[in-house]
């Protein structure tokens, strides 16, 4: 879900609450940005371009893959653990002690794990390589400091 529209709505609500209105005269003051945001969203909803107010205001999750990897850090940790597992089958990967620990008491279904790995493999591999590079650099620095 995009947080920018949610934050914009929260800001508008806060400004309204802070007294940017003249209740006695029956109207509310809006900035040009606020008015534009609200009118575009309401226009999209009223014209049928967006089937719901949530969609019109940008509060619904877009279809497809997440733009920047898993939205849940635990899922990225599961993908990395699965990729680093020495197991040969998905059942063995799901039974790997680190995967079991990360998955929690209920464990993880092999199909779900496979989908997570397939979806986030590239980003997880980049993170694994980056982590290894940092560890190697730290060890080399430590070794050089001893000399």
Query: pLDDT (tens digit, 0 to 9) for every residue of the chain, 147 residues total?
Result: 456 777 777 777 776 666 555 666 666 667 777 777 888 888 888 888 888 888 887 877 766 655 555 557 778 888 888 888 888 888 888 888 888 888 877 778 888 888 888 888 888 889 889 988 999 998 998 888 887
Tokens (6 digits) for 60 = 């619904």
CA angle 50, 52, 54 (to 5 degrees): 105
First to last CA, the chain: 52
**Can you give the pLDDT at residue 20?**
59
Residue 106: DSSP 8-state: T
Residues 78, 83, 88, 93: what is their CA dihedral angle, to the nearest 10 degrees? -10
In DSSP notation, 21-74 reads EEGGGTEE---HHHHHHHHHHHHHHHTTSSSSHHHHTT-SPPSSS-TTS-SSHH
Q: Does pTM surpass 0.85? A: no
Length in residues, the chain: 147
- As a whole number of angstroms, the distance between CA 86 and CA 121 comes to 16
**Can you give the pLDDT at residue 19?**
58
**Can you give the pLDDT at residue 133?**
92
């Amino acid at each position: 879900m995009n947080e920018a529209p949610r934050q914009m709505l929260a800001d508008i609500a806060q400004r309204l609450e802070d007294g940017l209105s003249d209740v006695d005269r029956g109207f509310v003051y809006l900035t040009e940005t606020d008015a534009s945001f609200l009118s575009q969203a309401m226009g999209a909803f009223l014209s049928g371009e967006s089937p719901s107010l949530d969609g019109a205001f940008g509060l619904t999750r877009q279809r497809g893959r997440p733009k920047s990897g898993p939205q849940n850090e635990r899922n990225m940790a599961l993908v990395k653990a699965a990729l680093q597992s020495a197991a040969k089958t998905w059942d063995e990967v799901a039974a790997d002690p680190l995967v079991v620990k990360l998955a929690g008491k209920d464990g993880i279904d092999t199909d779900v794990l496979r989908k997570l790995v397939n979806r986030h493999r590239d980003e997880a591999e980049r993170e694994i390589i980056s982590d290894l590079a940092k560890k190697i650099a730290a060890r080399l620095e430590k070794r050089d400091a001893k000399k």
